[in-house]
Amino acid sequence: MKQVYFDNAATTAMRDAVIDRMAEVMRSQYGNASSTHSMGRSAKSLLESSRKTIASFFNVSASEIVFTAGGTEADNLVLQSAVRDLGVTEIITSKLEHHAVLHTVEHLQKTYNINVNYVNLLENGMIDLTDLERLLKSSNKKLVSLMHINNEIGNKLDINKVAELCKANDALFHSDTVQSVGHYQMDLQDIRLDFLAASAHKFHGPKGIGFAFIRKGSGIKASIFGGEQERGYRAGTESIHNIVGMEEALKLSYANLEKERSQILKLKDYFIDQLQSLSSEVTFNGNCEDKEGSTYTLINVCLPIAPEKGGMLHFQLDLKGIACSKGSACQSGSNQNSHVLSEILDTENLLKPSVRFSFSCFNTEDEVDYVIETLKEFVKN
């Protein structure tokens, strides 16, 4: 059976060079980076070299990069410490955030009785910056948490503008950049955000490793206690092979960024054209048709299929070897509607099947054609 992988927003295939580099480290550099003997010092050297390299891509100091198990842990570290340790009494976020942010904020609201305000959305799911500016006028100690690229509909936040608004109103700014690190360049001396979260498996690196950027002097404190690893932010023996794998994946992503972005954007445009040729009733969720206002790595399409037939669509696509998603991978096993689509679609369109197709440099137009041929069996002309 033909296998087509269009679920790169959920996770990406590791590059061969990343696998090779990780295998090399696992074979020869298995020392504990906290040990003082030569094997430990060698592991420590690799650890700090990777930290320095990763920091260089964002124009920050190595001490501002904290390795975590992934984006979810990075989000939790920042949000929980901001309330517990920094005196934040109000969080401004949106109802379209990843559950790593939404559920953490809900927990903090219940535990610490903080104020939580959800910024208004425009019709296409973009953040209403006028409403954000209004919310920022409160006198509370505030933290704004808004994702750079939405993982379901691909909307792209004007992160520079939000950073400017936060600075002007004395608010901390945290951004979940899991879908953008490795796909967009970010100079954090120009973009004055305070915290970000990233995850290696979104840019062809290994699972189980990511990092938080924590701006120097922020006051963020540990959430995992034990040893003094990661400058006290995160106790536990560092996974050197995963960290080196993340470094290698990030190096290759940025080295090939322009070439691969052009290739993937061309594929996205082709996919949109082919989907529109299926039916005049095909629509796209969020802002994903807008090249400037959305990421080049995904589309979320609403298909004109009756609910009784649409309920089997994802199952049938899977039988045909097509990997895609009805929302984020974190909720794909649930019968509930996507919380993102529930916020932006009317009742009629919520009843129709929506599919997220997300791309990488390993995808081809032939794969798009195969998906389109499969969809023809479902979509009415």
Q: Active site includes 302?
A: no
Segment (H or E) for 197: strand 195-199
Contacts of 328 (CB under 8 A, 6+ apart): 9, 10, 98, 99, 151, 152, 338, 340
The per-residue b/e assignment along 256-276, b for 16 or more CB within 10 angstroms, e otherwise, is: eeeebbebbeebbeebbebbe
Other Cβ atoms closer than 10 A to 118 = 17
Quote the strand ranges of 200-350, DSSP E: 210-214, 283-284, 298-302, 322-323
Catalytic one of 302, 324, 330, 361 = 330
Tokens of 313: 């669509």
- Residue pair 352/305 in contact (Cβ under 8 Å)? The answer is yes
Closest CA to 310 of 275, 353, 346: 353
Helix or strand (DSSP H, E) at 118: strand 115-118
* Residues taking part in catalysis: 330
